[in-house]
Amino acid sequence: MTARPRVAVLGTGTMGAGMSRSLLRSGAEVTVWNRTPGKADDVVSAGATRADTVAEAVRDVECVVTMLYDADAVLAVCDDIVANAAPGTVWMQCATIGLDGMGQLTERVGDRMILLDAPVLGTKQPAENGALVVLASGPETAVEAARPVLDAIGKRTIHVDHELGHATALKLACNAWLATLTAGAAQSLALTQALGVDPRLFLDAVKDGTQDAPYLQRKGAQMLTGDFEPAFTLDAATKDAQLVQAACRATNVPTDLADGLSSLFTRGTSLGYGQDDVAAVITAFRT
């Protein structure tokens, strides 16, 4: 890959838009495509080239980055990518699509492209700042070939191993922890309030102790103020919780916790908070 790589980013939602702008700042030539064209306007204003079709986006690029919503969305564009990208093009699959989705994609791509399983850790601000953590699995040579792109979107890359799907597995484990921490914070705040105690005292009590975490303080503050400006939507968290459920079932890991988390997030979305931040899961605890 050249020092100024030609990159196609498919999906310019919250994460894809931030990643595109990070790539532009690094000097990459970026072409973007989004199913709803208007969602790419801001990135195009920042210097990206708009493509009207997937086929147009992936022609003559060195790297394709997919940051679409789910496995169905990624698989829907797979054939167009494979048919139109040049041989040897690196495909960094960065969306959270689960083990089954990654397995289907690997089978369909075969050896026609260099596929990297490359989900990311981080939300809106890290994507904008090029400070994501990229979890990559695939051949080490492919990881090194994609280094200019990896360095542009992330502060570090963890090469899990050569097996496609293992980075997705690690991402699911990380997302399970994120869901547990978010729902746990919501439960403690709701319980404190229900027992007649100022819920702010919960955050103060654990602050700077071994039980504290920056994420807990940040999401807890959002839950208390009701500021649910989305960095990572409750809809996306619900989808990911269901992927964790599926992974537990496939590996005979007990699903008790995964089932509870999925139920809570689903309840929050059913109350109309799906497009709000994941902190809105606290609404699931309100009677």
249: CB partners within 8 A, 6+ apart? 255
SS3 77: helix
Residue 160: the pLDDT is: 97
Beta strands in 4-69, from DSSP E residues, in sequence order:
6-10, 29-33, 49-50, 63-66
Residue 2: the pLDDT is: 78
SS3 27: coil
Residue 210: the pLDDT is: 96
Residue 287: the pLDDT is: 67
42-70 exposure pattern, b = at least 16 Cβ within 10 A, e = fewer? ebbeeebbbbeebbbbbbebbbbbbbbbb
Place of tokens 């916790």: 257
Residue numbers in the chain where pLDDT is lower than 50: none
Global pTM reads 0.94
Place of tokens 């809570």: 264
Domains recognised in the chain with CATH numbers: 6-164 (3.40.50.720), 169-285 (1.10.1040.10)
Q: How far apart are CA 166 and CA 135, in angstroms?
A: 9
Place of tokens 């908070």: 273
Residue 286: the pLDDT is: 87
Q: How far apart are CA 152 and CA 204, in angstroms?
A: 37
Q: How far apart are CA 145 and CA 12, in angstroms?
A: 24
Task: Please state, as a whole number, how many other Cβ atoms lie within 10 Å of the Cβ of residue 241.
Answer: 27
Residue 31: the pLDDT is: 98
CA-to-CA separations, 147 to 19, 162, 248, in angstroms, rounded: 15, 16, 32
